[in-house]
Amino acid sequence: MVPEAARLHLSNDERLRPLVAAIQPAPSQSKGDLYAELVESIIYQQLSIKAAATIHQRFLDLFPEGYPVPEALVKLDTETLRGVGLSYQKASYVRNVAEFFLAENLIGYKWDEHEDEEILKRLTQIKGVGRWTVEMILMFTLRREDVFPMDDLGVQNSMIKLYGLTETGKALRQRMTEIADAWRPYRSWACVYLWRWKDAAK
């Protein structure tokens, strides 16, 4: 559920106001497990939801408890991971995540005690984990309310359409930033509305 304070604040934006009034975003299904959801996000990248869900379940079935324990994941060879449908690159990336969490002793880590940028800087050290992926983790796993994934195409296209933006490149990013500054401290929720609006228009 969107907090009432966020709904009221975002309704001050006259372009966003109709979206806030008409759309009720679904609750997050996240269990708050950053490690597992980071691995899952890599598996889901650039695949249809149906295909990714099938591969993800096959991947989980490799583990006795259905959970990709990092100590077990790092021991799986590439061919085993490719056997469940992962590409060579994704097989490498999910192992990179497990190796990083083990090396940095991050299982059970108290991420809530750290700022967004600190988490972004730390997790993007992992090869295969980019800024967008961590922004999604911040928004949906850690439920941070003021993340603005500027490079997300859904957010970009929705803002271009909703606000009639004609700029491109750096000028577009500047305009998006200016508009989104008025959404603080609820930029995450604004983006959720933009995504749902885009989906509803399909």
Catalytic residues, by residue number, are: 152
Q: What is the C-alpha separation between 64 and 150, in angstroms, rounded?
A: 39
The H or E element spanning position 6 is helix 4-10
Label each residue of 53-114 as H, E or C.
Answer: HHHHHHHHCCCCCCCCCHHHHCCCCHHHHHHCCCCHHHHHHHHHHHHHHHHCCCCCCCHHHC
Contact 90, 43 (CB under 8 A): yes
User: Is 74 in contact with 95 (CB distance < 8 Å)?
Assistant: yes
Please work out, in degrees rounded to the nearest 5, the angle formed at the alpha carbon of residue 61 by the alpha carbons of 40 and 102.
55
* 142: its two tokens: 């850690």
Q: How far apart are CA 183 and CA 159, in angstroms?
A: 13
The whole-angstrom separation of Cα 31 and Cα 11 is 29
The C-alpha angle with vertex 119 and arms to 65 and 11, in degrees rounded to 5, equals: 105
